[in-house]
């Protein structure tokens, strides 16, 4: 798509994409195990499959907000670029695994033929999106990438993730002169890899709103609990918001306004990154948070307001989870509508109405607020 000369950078989303990322084949099995028990006639596609991303691409190309989208080709990351976030031994492990035809990195995380190239494309495409914003060529950029990245830690893979796309982009922003970067992760799972990468830094505020799932094994030792606040100079700059199952639209909006907005206001970043997963939706097989399109639209609006106030409108969006093949695309559309402040909604929600009771979630969020106010130094200033 060619940029419209009448479309300002604040009313346009520059989408960075490369179809080579579709070559990451995660296979079939029982959910994400890759296993065939021998007594089922029909196996699942692995939830992190190419179909989900194909629909995200198509809704932006042929859907109602397509006039606000400008397309840009992604690229492969250089190995030297990966070392800004990842340990050399870990990068070499991935290279050797690819040379040998693949490896099961951890539960549900399969490096198959084509996966390493797709991972390099995801990382490089995200870096290109960030550079586009840093160079002033656009205000809002969206890295539409897979494999996802926010669970990948500096030294290990985790949760379908090999390279931490968002973490690499944050480090690029810091290396390019940004003083402070705020990361808001709305994927249903804790963004443990990004948090781990900046756990001792006071230049990066990592905020993660996630299902209260705890640790899930050696690849994911972090719990995502409220007391994982960072270490050393980074103490207080990792804010976890573990939310009860079924929190829903009103609960998420309350968390954004009660916890996320005040923290970003205190931190005053000059760059903001939205780590976007649609697996918090009411339909997702990997989450139970019951967000609908209205909830995602509200989150998009809040993130737009924060970007306009603190980063001169600059916002990088990085794609993560979201495993319902059709509804994830709908929720993406709603998120970007919110960021663009478009109204009324351009697509009706196939859910229509989803029952909500945010009373318990509000109590949990209020308790997290009290804990943060008592224990996070920069919030007291």
User: In the chain, where are the structural domains located?
Assistant: 13-23+45-348+356-379
- Asked whether residue 329 carries a pLDDT value surpassing 70, the answer given is yes
Q: How far apart are CA 342 and CA 322, in angstroms?
A: 22
Range 118-142 average pLDDT: 98
Handedness of CA 117, 163, 317, 222 (dihedral sign): positive
pLDDT band at 7 (very low <50, low <70, confident <90, very high): low
Is there a contact between 126 and 84 (Cβ–Cβ < 8 Å)? no
- DSSP structural state of residue 184: E
Q: What percent of the chain has pLDDT over 90?
A: 94
pLDDT greater than 50 at residue 348: yes
**What tokens were used for 322?**
């979201």
Quote the pLDDT of residue 225: 98
Distance CA 215, CA 149 (A): 17
Those residues with Cβ within 8 angstroms of residue 328's Cβ, 6 or more apart along the chain or in another chain? 52, 55, 56, 278, 279, 281, 284, 322
- Dist. CA 251–CA 244, nearest whole Å: 9
Token pair for 76: 């492969």
Please report the pLDDT score of residue 6 as a whole number: 47
SS3 label, residue 72: strand
User: Residue 1 has what pLDDT?
Assistant: 34
pLDDT given at position 283: 92
Shortest CA distance to 296 belongs to which of 240, 359, 238, 340? Answer: 340
Q: Is the pLDDT of residue 264 over 50?
A: yes
The angle formed by the CA atoms of residues 343, 347 and 352, to the nearest 5 degrees, is 105
Ranges 23-32, 189-198, 342-351: which has the least confidence: 342-351
Q: Is 24 a catalytic residue?
A: no
- Res 314: pLDDT: 98
- Position 3 scores a pLDDT of 40
Contacts of 213-220 with C-beta under 8 Å, sequence gap 24+, read 213/189, 213/242, 216/107, 216/159, 217/106, 217/107, 218/106, 219/105, 219/106, 219/107, 219/109, 219/151, 219/156, 219/157, 219/158, 219/159, 220/151, 220/158, 220/159, 220/190, 220/192
Tokens 């009313």 locate to 11
Residue 18 has pLDDT above 90, yes or no: yes
SS3 110: strand
Does residue 137 surpass a pLDDT of 50? Answer: yes
Candidate list 46, 150, 151, 220, residue with the active-site label:
151
pLDDT of 145-154, one tens digit each? 999 999 999 9
* Exposure on the CB side of residue 124, measured as CA atoms within 13 A: 18
How sure is the predictor about 5, in pLDDT bands with cuts at 50, 70 and 90?
Answer: very low
Q: Per-residue pLDDT for 254 more than 80? A: yes
Q: Above 50 in pLDDT, residue 119? A: yes
Task: Return the beta strands (E) in the chain as ranges.
Answer: 13-17, 28-29, 44-45, 69-73, 103-106, 109-111, 140-143, 181-185, 204-211, 238-243, 271-276, 315-319
Model's pTM, two decimal places? 0.96
Per-residue pLDDT, averaged over 94-119, amounts to 98
The CATH class given to the 13-23+45-348+356-379 domain equals: alpha beta
pLDDT at 2 over 80: no
pLDDT confidence of 354, banded at 50, 70, 90? confident
Q: Both ends of the chain: CA-CA distance in Å?
A: 46
Q: Which two tokens stand for residue 47?
A: 């939830």
């Amino acid at each position: 798509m060619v940029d419209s000369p009448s479309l300002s950078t604040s009313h346009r989303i520059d989408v960075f994409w490369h179809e080579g990322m579709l070559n990451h084949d995660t296979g079939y099995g029982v959910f994400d195990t890759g296993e065939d028990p021998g007594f089922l006639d029909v196996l699942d596609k692995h939830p992190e499959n190419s179909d989900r991303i194909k629909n995200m691409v198509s809704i932006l190309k042929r859907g109602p907000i397509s006039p606000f989208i400008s397309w840009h080709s992604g690229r492969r990351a250089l190995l030297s670029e990966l070392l800004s976030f990842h340990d050399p031994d870990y990068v070499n492990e991935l290279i050797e695994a690819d040379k040998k035809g693949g490896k099961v990195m951890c539960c549900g995380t399969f490096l198959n033929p084509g996966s390493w190239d797709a991972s390099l494309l995801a990382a490089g495409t995200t870096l290109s999106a960030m550079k586009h914003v840093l160079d002033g060529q656009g205000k809002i950029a969206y890295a539409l990438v897979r494999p996802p990245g926010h669970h990948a830690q500096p030294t290990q893979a985790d949760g379908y993730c090999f390279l931490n796309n968002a973490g690499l982009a944050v480090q690029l922003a810091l290396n390019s002169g940004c003083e402070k970067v705020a990361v808001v992760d709305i994927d249903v799972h804790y963004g443990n890899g990004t948090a781990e990468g900046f756990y001792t830094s006071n230049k990066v505020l990592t905020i993660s709103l996630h299902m209260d799932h705890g640790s899930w094994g050696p690849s994911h030792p972090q719990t995502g609990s409220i007391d994982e606040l960072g270490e050393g100079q980074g103490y207080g700059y990792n804010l976890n918001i573990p939310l009860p199952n079924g929190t829903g639209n009103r609960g998420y909006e309350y968390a954004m306004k009660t916890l996320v907005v005040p923290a970003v206001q205190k931190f005053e970043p000059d760059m903001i990154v939205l780590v976007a997963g649609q697996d918090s939706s009411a339909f997702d097989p990997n989450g139970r948070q019951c967000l609908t399109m209205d909830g995602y639209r509200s989150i998009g609006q809040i993130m737009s307001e924060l970007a306009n106030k603190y980063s001169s409108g600059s916002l990088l969006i990085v794609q993560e989870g979201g495993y319902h093949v059709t509804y994830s695309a709908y929720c993406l559309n709603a998120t970007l509508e919110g960021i663009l402040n478009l109204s009324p909604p351009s697509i009706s929600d196939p859910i229509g109405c989803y029952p909500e009771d945010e009373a318990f979630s509000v109590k949990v969020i209020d308790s997290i607020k009290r804990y943060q106010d008592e224990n996070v130094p920069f919030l007291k200033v």
